[in-house]
Amino acid sequence: MTDKDIKFLSVEEAGRLIGAIQEEEDIEQQDRRIMTVYNRDDKELCWFDYDEIMEIVKDVSKSEKQEAVQNYILTHIPEWALDI
C-alpha cells in the first residue's frame, strides 16, 4: 500500500488524537526499531519503521531531527486511527 492509497488525518486532527510517540523495539523482529503512536488513552494507534523515518529526515540537522520526525508522523496518521 502506498501513501496514495491511504487517507491521512489533518495535522490538527492528528494532534488532538496523539498522546505520545515512543521509540520501541519491534517485538516481532529482533534488532528492529519502530516508532509507536499512542492516543491520549494510551492505546496503540499505529507504528512507523524507525529506519524508514530516519532515511526520510536524514538531511535535517541533528538539532531539528526530533521535530522533523514528529512532523512527519503528524502528517501520516491514517484516517482509520479514529476508529481505535
Chain mean position to CA 57: 13
C-alpha cell at 12: 490538527
Neighbours of 41 (CB within 10 A): 7
Instruction: Decide: 69 and 56 in contact? Cβ < 8 Å.
Output: no
Q: Which of 46, 44, 70, 43 is nearest to 56 (CA)?
A: 70
Q: In terms of residue numbers, what domain contains 71?
A: 3-83
4 pLDDT tier (thresholds 50, 70, 90): confident
Q: Which of 70, 76, 69, 72 is nearest to 9 (CA)?
A: 76
5 pLDDT tier (thresholds 50, 70, 90): confident
> Tens digits of per-residue pLDDT, 23-65?
999 989 989 999 999 999 999 999 999 999 999 999 999 999 9
Say how many domains are in the chain: 1
